[in-house]
Amino acid sequence: MEPTRILNNEHRVIEQVLDCLEVMARRCRQDGRLDGASAREAIDFFRNYADRCHHGKEEQQLFPMMEARGFPAESGPVAVMRIEHEDGRALIRQMEGAIEEAAAGAEPACAAFVRAALGYLGLLRDHIRKEDHCLFPMAEQALSTQDTQQLGELFARADAAEFGLDERQRLLDLADRLAERFDVARGRVESVYGEPSRCG
Ligand SMILES: [Fe+2]
Ligand SMILES: [Fe+2]
């Protein structure tokens, strides 16, 4: 599978959990109390799957290869993507910091959680749209066949040897448990490392 297609597939799973987060935030606002256990699971997913596994491959493998093929590191689309990853990390910390008190029904903490969650939802959905429709097509044009093959090997190594396929599967299972709990549609994804395909 093309490396950018692996990232597209990961986007679909991230969107699935973003949809769950949206329901959590809406209920928190309506009920004045956050489902703390589900929010902690969502943070686990965003921190480890969306950030460490997915943004990790973008920041450590894809972006450096794009920079080596002429995309500037300090400005332009790659630099913007790196800044948005950092903005997302800050919002994850804000959500996490509000969970305990929001789960106990404290109004300011509920408001803080909802504010950070809505910020994260908007940021990530927009970020994913830019990557799917602009950045990845630009990368596919700029990278040679050899680059693409090398990138695929680097991704496989990052996922299997550094991140771990068991951890990856744990987080995919978590994403599906959350989707079931919040009655959210599953992202349609292809099998990358032999996990069950969800192409329908
Ligand atoms: Fe990204
Ligand atoms: Fe991405």
CA of 6 to the centre of ligand 2 (A): 10
Which candidate, 167, 17, 195, places its Cα nearest to that of 95?
A: 17
Closest ligand to the CA of 80? 1
Q: Give me the chain's average pLDDT, please.
A: 96
State the average pLDDT over residues 160-188: 95
- Structure tokens given for 89: 């990390």
CA of 51 to the centre of ligand 2 (A): 9
Q: How far is it, in rounded angstroms, from Cα 116 to Cα 176?
A: 23
- pLDDT recorded at residue 199: 62
Angle at 37 between CA 83 and CA 94, to 5 degrees: 30
CA of 125 to the centre of ligand 2 (A): 10
DSSP 8-state class, residue 69? T
Which candidate, 32, 58, 57, 42, places its Cα nearest to that of 130?
A: 58
Amino acid in the structure at residue 193: Y
CA of 31 to the centre of ligand 2 (A): 33
CA of 107 to the centre of ligand 2 (A): 33
State the average pLDDT over residues 55-65: 98
- Structure tokens given for 148: 């693409």
- pLDDT recorded at residue 132: 98
- pLDDT recorded at residue 197: 75
* 99-142 tens-digit pLDDT: 999 999 999 999 999 999 999 999 999 999 999 999 999 999 99
- pLDDT recorded at residue 192: 80
188 pLDDT band (50/70/90 cuts)?
A: confident
Residue 190 has a CB neighbour count (10 Å cut-off) of 14
